[in-house]
Amino acid sequence: MKNKWSCLAIACLATLLLSLDLTVLHLALPRLVTDLGANSTQLLWIGDMYGFALAGLLVTMGNLGDRIGRKRLLLIGAAAFGAASVVTAYAPNPELLIAARALLGVAGATIMPSTLSIVRNVFTEPGERTAAIGIWSGMSAAGFAIGPVVGGLLLDHFWWGSVFLINVPIMLLVLVGGILVLPESRNPQAGRPDLVSVVLSFAGVVTAVYAVKEAAHKGLEHADVPAAGAAGVLLLGLFVWRQTRLPEPLIDVRLFRRRAFSASIVTNLLAIFTMSAMMLLFGWYLQLVLGWSPLQAGLAQLPGGLSGAVGGILAAKLIHLIGRNGVVALGLAMNAGAFLYYSTLGPSLNYLALLPIMIIGGVGIGFTFTVNNDNVLATAPRERAGAAAAVSETAFELGGALGIAILGTVLNSAYQTNLRLPANLPSADSARESIAGAVSTAATLPPDQADQLMRAAQTAFIEGLHTTALVTAALLALVALLALIGLRGVPKVIPEEVLTHA
């Protein structure tokens, strides 16, 4: 196809915006307290609602794209995303902002699997397909890194809604380019969607993600967490059981019998589990320990994210040298080494020494996600590419939520264990909870007591960061071993006819 690289550019542009939108809001949250009067509960929902709607509808929307056409669904989603961005930017109160964020998540769920399934159907030659997915994965990684920088620049000059208005011109480009360039593709034998499966999928994923986020915010002992977790597992179990009994399921669970598919899904989930939490914790380290501004912290992390794009491009060539399992394992091992270095960080930082470590870790991320995404799409029939892409993206969302919850708990536990508060301080309960609480408490104290509190909190946080980084490095090393074994025997070049019928 003559215009296939133009198709890839449109898919990458949409993916870049979606991943950017996941992180660009973080810096705007403090403004929402003063401008909209949002309380702490509303702030959590403003931050989480987009992810809830996105994760809950990925499987349904990926399947819908296979049925009605991926181009059609992408264009509908792009138009809806642009409109929802305007509503979000001008929301007059927290309640409408939460609703608008939900609409953004619904629209995002139509776009994310559509872009990847379009790439799968346009690039039919195995080598080109892997290279295209590498570029797509790299743009996704770049979006996560660029988000805080773009957010910081906009918030320095405009009001909080500007971080959403940036979506509109980009989505217009996607819409116009998609109409002119993208080919239509669908599953010609798709039947009617099973509404019971849609409900079970949405309810199961949202309940599971809610349980994980509640565990991160309130702790595992909170009453909502066990109930929501059990309900999520039950609903997802019923969903899988129903798929095995439908002639036209939302997800063909037989795909999980293919080692390349199941091992790639599990490896991706565990990889993002470790990496998502550390991206957040590293941002806290730069701001709360070193005292850098949000924009400085975003710029400092930018090389690591952008190098993920480089890793995505290099992965396709590296497969021919060391195999698919070797590339994934190498990428994970590179990240394990990076986190070992992070376990040595202290109250001061030599950024020039840190920079090459961040780049090595970023390239490793590109290696891992490129090959795993290619494995997932390549092992699914082309007519079910949307559903396969949705499974991969859902695992990505679940892994990210789990990582922040569990590794965040490791950090907080280590922080609380290592915190040694000065005896002359007044009530400092919030300081004992987290370093953010310590910053808030310090703002109310005289300068000498504030300095004592912050030195103690920063020391405890660094100890917690060391523990969390070591745990992360160990997990990455184990996942690398899993990938080396689980993906062993997957051919370097997977022919289309083998993948479709294996």
Q: Out of 1.20.1250.20, 2.30.110.10, 3.40.50.720, 2.60.40.1230, which CATH number does the structure's domain 1-193 have?
A: 1.20.1250.20
Q: Which two tokens stand for residue 229?
A: 């977790």
Provide DSSP, 126-191.
HHHHHHHHHHHHHHHHHHHHHHHHHHHHHHHHS-TTHHHHTHHHHHHHHHHHHHHHPPP---TT--
> How far is residue 356's CA from residue 340's CA, in Å, rounded to a whole number?
14
Local confidence band at 498 (pLDDT 50, 70, 90 cut-offs): very low
Q: Which two tokens stand for residue 502?
A: 């294996």
> How far is residue 40's CA from residue 437's CA, in Å, rounded to a whole number?
13
Mean of pLDDT values over 165-192 = 83
pLDDT of residue 419: 84
- Measure CA 444 to chain center: 36
> How far is residue 115's CA from residue 12's CA, in Å, rounded to a whole number?
8
- Measure CA 403 to chain center: 10
Q: Tell me how long the chain is.
A: 502
pLDDT of residue 245: 83
> What's the angle, vertex CA 211, arms to CA 205 and CA 215, rounded to 5?
145
> Could you tell me the pTM of the whole model?
0.79
Q: What is the mean pLDDT of the chain?
A: 81
Q: Are 32 and 190 in contact (CB under 8 A)?
A: no
CATH 3.40.50.720 fits 252-502, yes or no: no
Q: Are 197 and 82 in contact (CB under 8 A)?
A: no
Residue 328 gets which letter from DSSP? Answer: H
pLDDT of residue 191: 65
Local confidence band at 298 (pLDDT 50, 70, 90 cut-offs): confident
Mean of pLDDT values over 260-280 = 78
> How far is residue 309's CA from residue 371's CA, in Å, rounded to a whole number?
13
Name the most confidently modeled range: 5-19, 79-93, 108-122.
79-93
Asked if pLDDT for residue 113 goes beyond 50, the answer is yes
How confident is the model over 213-257, as pLDDT tens digits?
A: 777 666 666 667 788 888 888 998 898 888 888 877 777 777 777
Q: Tokens 């196809």 sit at which residue? A: 1
> Distance of CA 68 to CAs 56, 78, 320, Å?
20, 16, 37
- Measure CA 386 to chain center: 18
Local confidence band at 190 (pLDDT 50, 70, 90 cut-offs): low
How confident is the model over 416-451, as pLDDT tens digits?
A: 888 887 777 766 677 777 777 787 777 778 888 888
